[in-house]
Amino acid sequence: MQVAGKVVVVTGGANGIGKALCEVFHRAGAAKVVVADMEAAGARAVAAEVNGAAFKCDVAQEKDILHVIDETERQFGPIALFCSNAGIGGGFDPMSVNAGGSSDEPWQRSWAIHVMAHVYAARHLVPRMKSRGGGYFLNTISAAGLLSQVGSPAYSATKHGAVGFAENLAISHKADNIKVSILCPQGVDTNMLRSIPKGPQSGDGDLSPEQVAKDALAGIEQETFLILPHPQVLGYMRKKTENYDRWIGGMAKIQAKMREDFGK
């Protein structure tokens, strides 16, 4: 898919990877880039840079996503590419004594943002895309959705859920000419990475948001389902599936080292 001349929506577009996506789509000639974010001022600032439009949006709320879709299509035309990019880094605790946690809150918030936001976008856009012969979803997930996230069971589980939904979205609507890509980087130099404890996602070739956005654009142009800005993730995936028990043992060692470092 070529972005030139297309209407594009990016959630979580006020900073980090989302901001970089807005910029790269603008440079690629998008007809209109719509920046959706809970931080309304930040969304407006990015929109001003890319001659776009801004909407305040909490992606955990279906009504907010529907509002963005309705207003974008009313004002600017059919959405060709919807980038479900918003994410949070909550629930990280390397010293946790129970993977089940002690509260539902981090699980519910992670589930709403990392899984249901993708579901809501598809729920309201798939019928429209089918009626006009196709469309494209880019879902920003994480290498954690393919591997795991030491220190955050909620992040790991919901990112795995996001991968599963994206796979099914692509399978279910391939015949409708609806394309899907998942963007699964490791460490990216963003506020979210800096806000969480250091772990295996850090120091393994941290990339700039701009580089990740360029890789995302290339993947969309090639219509690649799995976009890996960190190519080493493919090797980690292979090692995981070749010997799951060995992989879990290795990850447990990383967990132990994290706890040791964090406890100092």
Measured between alpha carbons, how far is 210 from 188 in angstroms, rounded to an integer? Answer: 10
Residue 234's contacts (CB-CB under 8 Å, 6 or more residues apart) are: 228
Query: In the predicted model, is pLDDT for residue 184 greater than 80?
Result: yes
Determine the Cα–Cα distance for residues 94 and 84; give it in Å rounded to an integer: 28
Reported confidence tier of residue 24, pLDDT bands at 50, 70, 90? very high
Question: Residue 261: is its pLDDT beyond 60?
Answer: yes
User: Residue 248 CB: number of other CB atoms within 10 A?
Assistant: 12
For 185, the enclosing helix (H) or strand (E) is: none
Q: 53-56 and 32-37 as β-strands: parallel, antiparallel, unpaired?
A: parallel
Pairwise CA distance, residues 82 & 69, whole Å: 9
Give the residue with greater pLDDT, 138 vs 193. Answer: 138
Above 60 in pLDDT, residue 205? yes
Q: Assign 177 a pLDDT band (cuts: 50, 70, 90).
A: very high
pLDDT for residue 262 is more than 80 = no
Q: Is the pLDDT of residue 129 over 70?
A: yes
The structure's pTM equals 0.92
Give, in order, the Cα–Cα distances in Å from 219 to each of 127, 223, 227: 24, 6, 6
Bridge partners (DSSP) of residue 36 are 11, 55
Among 128, 218, 142, 227, residue whose Cα is nearest residue 178:
128
| pLDDT for the residue numbered 192 | 58
Sheet holding 226-227, edge to edge: 53-56, 32-37, 7-11, 79-84, 135-140, 178-183, 226-227
If you count them, how many residues does the chain have?
A: 264
> What was the pLDDT predicted at 204?
74
Residue 91 confidence (pLDDT): 67
Return the H-helix or E-strand segment holding 166: helix 153-172
Give the rounded percent of residues in the chain with a pLDDT score beyond 70.
93
The phi, psi pair for 236, rounded to 5°, reads -65, -40
